[in-house]
Amino acid sequence: MRAIWNGTEIANSADTVVVEGNHYFPLASIRGDCLRKSDTQTSCPWKGMANYYDILVGDDVNTDAAWYYADPKPAAKEISGRVAFWRGVQVSE
């Protein structure tokens, strides 16, 4: 699977985990220069507290376009150490 935004591949992995239709990529498969931690947090009743990254490509910023669960609840343990994308990030094979 690949994650692309603004014509730039920001993640590539054959080892994604799909939860609720979202592909969660291993953190090691994501270009670190394309991520910047955000202060945004949201809560999911069964996954836990989500944290966000902004995606950076050149001078363009896609705010809160990636999320992860630093300490997911037991029901979502398979997404620990993984990141998912939205807000215009294209995820495909």
The residue ranges of every structural domain in the chain are 2-92
Q: Which candidate, 53, 72, 50, 71, places its Cα nearest to that of 61?
A: 53
CATH topology of domain 2-92: 2.170.150
Residue 16 confidence class, pLDDT cut points 50, 70, 90: very high
In tens, the pLDDT along 24-73 reads: 999 999 999 999 999 999 999 999 999 999 999 999 999 999 999 999 99
Global pTM reads 0.95
**20 pLDDT band (50/70/90 cuts)?**
very high
- CB-count burial class (<10 Å; 0-12, 13-18, 19+) for 30: buried
* Count of CA atoms in the C-beta half-sphere (13 A) of 42: 9
